[in-house]
Amino acid sequence: MKEVAITISWDDNHSKNLKLVKLLNKYNLKGTFYLYKAQDINQSKNDIIKISLSQEIGSHSLTHSDLTGVNLKQAKKEILGSKEWLETLINKPVKVFAYPFGFYDDQVKKIVKQSGFISARTARSFNHQCPKDFFAWHPTIQIYPYPFRKRNDRTMHWSSHLLDPLWHNFFGFIGWHLPITAYLNWISLAKATFDHVYKNGGTWHLWGHCYEVEKYNMWQDLEEIFSYISNRKNIFYLTNGQLFDKLYHKNYVKK
């Protein structure tokens, strides 16, 4: 049977991250929270420690800066400094990194690798295969209002950008040969991409921002997907770090 892995990740500091932890734990799912140090009333140090008790902490730089827009000395400080700060705080290794805003270049990738991380995640979706470049790893699908761009949970962006989510996802996933019904709404698209991976093998990687789940009132959608993907046979449920450390590096021992 083809190897299938499920992993989930979340970017940025937010007080509702603890709600996400409870939801992940409810369905026995593994998640990675990419957090930063910048003083933020939305995410206390105690919250980060609480998250680390059952889920993985990854680095998202010190201050969530665009690393391609600063000099190499500052980029190294942002990347290595964040790893050291988080490891001291949670007393655990921090193995994975996510580029702020998804922005990176070859020099930034090199610093991330030299800083001791085993992978770095981007913000570009539509991937379900083992990456050729562990430091330019693309996820599968983002939780975001779909098929229309929303201003909040009740109103739309009535502008030229209204169809952005539809076009962005349609052309991204068209190579997967998904059924046309997959493009009706976000839940349909999430289930269709999961079904494809479950049948054909690979990694299904959901990612998003807690503040968007809250802003667009997508908690029910998220729980429906968690229920749909959880407790399946012959699936590895892994954090981002476990995925690379154990599965992609072929050191994972099935129990």
Report pTM. Answer: 0.94
Distance in angstroms (rounded) separating the CA atoms of residues 118 and 30: 18
Identify the domain containing residue 216 by its residue range: 4-248
For 166-183, the DSSP string reads HHHHHHHHGGGT--GGGG
pLDDT at 247: 73
Long-range contacts of the stretch 188-192 (C-beta < 8 A, 24+): 189/141, 189/146, 190/141, 190/143, 190/225, 190/228, 191/225, 191/228
Q: What pLDDT does 151 receive?
A: 87
User: Which CATH number do you get for residue 12?
Assistant: 3.20.20.370
Does 184 fall in a domain?
Answer: yes
Does 254 map to a domain?
A: no
Q: Is residue 218 part of a domain?
A: yes
Evaluate whether residue 253 is within a structural domain.
no
Q: 108 lies in a domain?
A: yes
Q: pLDDT of the chain along its 255 residues, tens only?
A: 688 999 999 999 998 999 999 999 999 999 999 999 876 555 688 999 999 999 999 999 999 999 999 999 999 999 999 999 999 999 999 999 999 999 999 999 999 999 999 999 999 999 999 888 999 999 999 999 999 888 888 888 888 788 889 888 988 998 898 999 999 999 999 999 999 999 999 999 999 999 999 999 999 999 999 999 999 999 999 999 999 987 777 644 343
Residue 2: per-residue pLDDT: 82
What's the total number of domains in the chain?
1
Q: CA 16 to CA 179: how far, in whole Å?
A: 34
Q: How far apart are CA 87 and CA 84, in angstroms?
A: 5
Give me the DSSP letters along 86-117: HHHHHSS---EEE-GGG---HHHHHHHHHTT-
Which sign does the torsion angle of CA 54, 124, 108, 41 carry?
A: negative
Assess if residue 255 is contained within a domain: no
pLDDT at 254: 41
